[in-house]
Amino acid sequence: MPFRPDNSLTRADVTPKQLWLNRRHLLLGAGAAFAAGPGFAQAVKSPFSTTEEPNTLEDIGSYNNYYEFGFGKEDPAAYASSLTTTPWSIEIGGLVDKPGTYDLADILSQVTLEERIYRFRCVEAWSMIVPWNGFELASLLNRVGVQAEAKYVAFETVVRPEEMPGQKTAALDWPYREGLRLDEAMHPLTILATGIYGEPMPNQNGAPIRLVVPWKYGFKSIKSIVKISLVADMPETTWNMQNAQEYGFYSNVNPAVDHPRWSQASERRIGAGLFGGRVDTLPFNGYADQVAQLYAGQDLKVDY
């Protein structure tokens, strides 16, 4: 009789993840369980999460702009495995009370990991829903103590051309740099993310730690961070240096302000399929209620 697989198992039969991880915890010891990633199974749910259905991990991990690994959307998934993400530390400096090089494990030991399901909108007019695991940037900034003169937060991505082949080209001015105004950085929506779907961050999504600022175009959410600086002057940001006419410092998602070369009025949802059509883009990517007041009095056509 030919082997026939048993198809009578259903999703209801799957061991709940919490239980499965706890059993591993018992078998392997506390240290080994956390080797998979600190506290993901315990990530706290957040009222900041959208109720929309997230994209699959496959979509999130196979459609990426990460020029350090190549220019195609499939390149980061193909090449990012060359990046070593442990050990990892972030150099925190500038106008802070406690500057220094902070080991990632140390940073994570003092934060509460939350699940934040956010809309993610690329400037290229495509979007996804991503279930990030992370913590508020504000908690890290408060830990190191932000001084009164600080007005902006500057970030840098790692530079390792031997692991990130795209950095051997001059397509962008490496290291990749980004920045936020201090109030944007301290906003509860702004997180540093270390995982997706309760799994450690895939390399192609910016492992081991990246910024997520959901009301701005995706390129502001800098990946694989090694440096955070508190500064008094507006910092240089990579895409603004690349083309100031097209990529502004703020880059808030805004259907009323077009990119010079294409409209921002609508977007294509990744994972919606061939006949998914387009959806209307929302001001501040749908986070207007939480962030519009940060820009009161600013002309967003000028501060694009």
Cα distances (Å, whole numbers) of residue 66 to 69, 133, 165, 168, 192: 6, 20, 11, 14, 17
With contacts defined by CB under 8 A, name the span among 3-11, 32-40, 258-266, 281-289 that binds other proteins. 258-266
The answer to whether 74 contacts other proteins (rule: CB under 8 A) is yes
In this complex, which beta carbon is closest to other proteins, that of residue 265 or of residue 294? 265
Binding mask 115-154 toward other proteins (x if CB under 8 A, else -) reads: ---------x-x-x--------------------------
The answer to whether 242 contacts other proteins (rule: CB under 8 A) is yes
In this complex, which beta carbon is closest to other proteins, that of residue 42 or of residue 266? 266
Q: Distance between alpha carbon 33 and the CA centroid of its chain, in Å?
A: 24
- CA dist., res. 224 & res. 158, Å (int): 6
Cα distances (Å, whole numbers) of residue 156 to 152, 211, 223, 286, 290: 13, 11, 8, 27, 26
For residue 217, give the amino acid letter.
Y
Are the CB atoms for 64 and 116 separated by under 8 Å?
Answer: no
Minimum Å distance from CB 241 to other proteins?
Answer: 12
- Closest by CA to 204, choosing from 164, 247, 161, 155, is 164
Binding mask 266-285 toward other proteins (x if CB under 8 A, else -) reads: x-x-xx-xxxxxx-------
In this complex, which beta carbon is closest to other proteins, that of residue 248 or of residue 271? 271
In this complex, which beta carbon is closest to other proteins, that of residue 63 or of residue 215? 63
Binding mask 155-184 toward other proteins (x if CB under 8 A, else -) reads: --------------x-xx------------
In this complex, which beta carbon is closest to other proteins, that of residue 147 or of residue 242? 242
Residues 40-59 that bind other proteins (CB under 8 A): 55, 58-59
The string of DSSP letters for 168-197 reads: GS-SS-SSPEEEEEHHHHHSTT-EEEEEET
In this complex, which beta carbon is closest to other proteins, that of residue 3 or of residue 275? 275
End-to-end CA distance of the chain: 68
Residues sharing a CB contact under 8 Å with residue 183, sequence separation 6 or more, in sequence order? 294
208 preceded by a cis bond (ω within 30 of 0): yes
Binding residues with other proteins: total (CB under 8 A): 31
In this complex, which beta carbon is closest to other proteins, that of residue 28 or of residue 244? 244
Cα distances (Å, whole numbers) of residue 258 to 27, 120, 264, 284: 55, 18, 5, 13
Minimum Å distance from CB 13 to other proteins?
Answer: 27
Residues 18-37 that bind other proteins (CB under 8 A): none
DSSP helix/strand/coil, 102: strand
Interface residue list for other proteins (CB under 8 A):
55, 58-59, 62-63, 67, 71, 73-74, 124, 126, 128, 169, 171-172, 242, 258, 261-263, 265-266, 268, 270-271, 273-278
